[in-house]
């Protein structure tokens, strides 16, 4: 599966991506062995097979620049917490502050509501992570409260999405 934005390709990984997965799966800690990379690919593929219309177990995309072959980060939707569907995005430090995380978030929300037909998506971040908070705000997610420690919580549902649908969510298509 592949989703496209203005500058990015978000793609599920295959066995052919094993070396890139090994390099980037835990990129903030370093390269993992190929056996672990294969286990990560199998884990993602197994989760993807469980996704159905209206219900996402877990959907993880490798993030690529549109004309690039190297993974620059990860994003997706995680429904493994009972009753919640969380949006996530993490980019290699060299690719931050380019609007890429916002493009990921906007495209993931468009997929969630227009194609997967989920009822809502949750978001959140550390209270000190202002960049991540700005991404959720730019993606038009609504602030809906705070954790006890002050971390902000966001949500988007079908009603909010219908009011704020962004024209470039599909990469200008």
- Which pLDDT tens digits describe the chain residue by residue (173 residues)? 999 999 999 999 999 999 999 988 877 777 888 999 999 999 999 999 999 888 999 999 999 999 888 999 999 999 988 889 999 999 999 999 999 999 999 999 999 999 999 999 999 999 999 999 999 999 999 999 999 999 999 999 988 898 876 555 544 43
**Cβ-contact 48, 58 below 8 angstroms:** yes
**Cβ-contact 85, 56 below 8 angstroms:** yes
Give the Cα-Cα-Cα angle 120, 2, 94 (nearest 5 degrees). Answer: 90
Q: How far is CA 94 from the centre of its chain?
A: 18
pTM of full prediction above 0.85: yes
- Domains detected in the chain: 2-164 (3.40.630.30)
Q: CA-based diameter of the chain, in Å?
A: 46
């Amino acid at each position: 599966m592949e989703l496209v934005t203005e500058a990015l390709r978000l793609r599920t990984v295959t066995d052919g991506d094993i070396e890139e997965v090994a390099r980037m799966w835990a990129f903030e800690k370093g390269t993992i062995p190929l056996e672990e990379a294969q286990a990560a690919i199998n884990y993602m593929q197994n989760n993807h097979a469980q996704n159905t219309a209206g219900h996402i177990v877990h959907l993880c995309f490798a993030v690529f620049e549109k004309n690039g072959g190297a993974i620059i980060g990860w994003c997706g939707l995680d429904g493994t917490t009972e009753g919640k569907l969380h949006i996530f995005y993490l980019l290699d430090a060299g690719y931050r502050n380019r609007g890429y995380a916002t493009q990921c978030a906007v495209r993931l929300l468009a997929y969630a509501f227009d194609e997967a037909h989920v009822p809502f998506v949750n978001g959140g971040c550390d209270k000190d992570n202002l960049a991540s908070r700005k991404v959720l705000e730019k993606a038009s997610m609504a602030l809906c409260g705070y954790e006890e420690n002050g971390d902000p919580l966001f949500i988007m549902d079908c009603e909010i999405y219908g009011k704020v649908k962004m024209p470039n969510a599909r990469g200008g298509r």
